[in-house]
Amino acid sequence: MIGQCLLGAAALGIVAFAPPAKGRMTIISLTGQSGSQIAGWALAGDVSLIAVRGHSLTLEASREQLLALALSHGALVLAARPGLCGDGTGA
């Protein structure tokens, strides 16, 4: 029973932070890159910068365009949730 609850909670977490096919996403560095360094490789093509904060950056883009690129640079792509990603004034 406890295992099922933990599995359910993990699944909800994955769904809540899975990046959308297209929309606002946050890229978080797992290797210590700054937001500016992430921007250097992430802002190619049809991408709009929303905010840079520490070791992450929030942008409007296509998941297909960013996912493999982020993984190859040691970063995660997550859904940018309202209230967690700022109002966009940090760019």
Q: Is residue 13 one of the residues assigned to a domain? A: no
Average pLDDT, the chain: 79
Q: Is residue 68 one of the residues assigned to a domain? A: yes
pLDDT in tens, 48-80: 899 888 888 899 998 888 888 898 999 989 888
Q: Is residue 2 one of the residues assigned to a domain? A: no
Q: Is residue 12 one of the residues assigned to a domain? A: no
Q: Is residue 57 one of the residues assigned to a domain? A: yes
Q: How many domains does the chain have?
A: 1
pLDDT recorded at residue 90: 46
Q: Which residue has the higher pLDDT, 45 or 49?
A: 49
Is the separation of the CB atoms in 12 and 5 below 8 Å?
Answer: no
Q: What is the CATH number of the domain that holds 49?
A: 3.30.70
d(CA 62, CA 84): 20
d(CA 91, CA 87): 10
* Percent of the chain scoring above 70 in pLDDT: 73
State the pLDDT confidence band at 88, using cuts at 50, 70 and 90. Answer: very low
Per the structure block, which two tokens stand in for 14? 């994955």
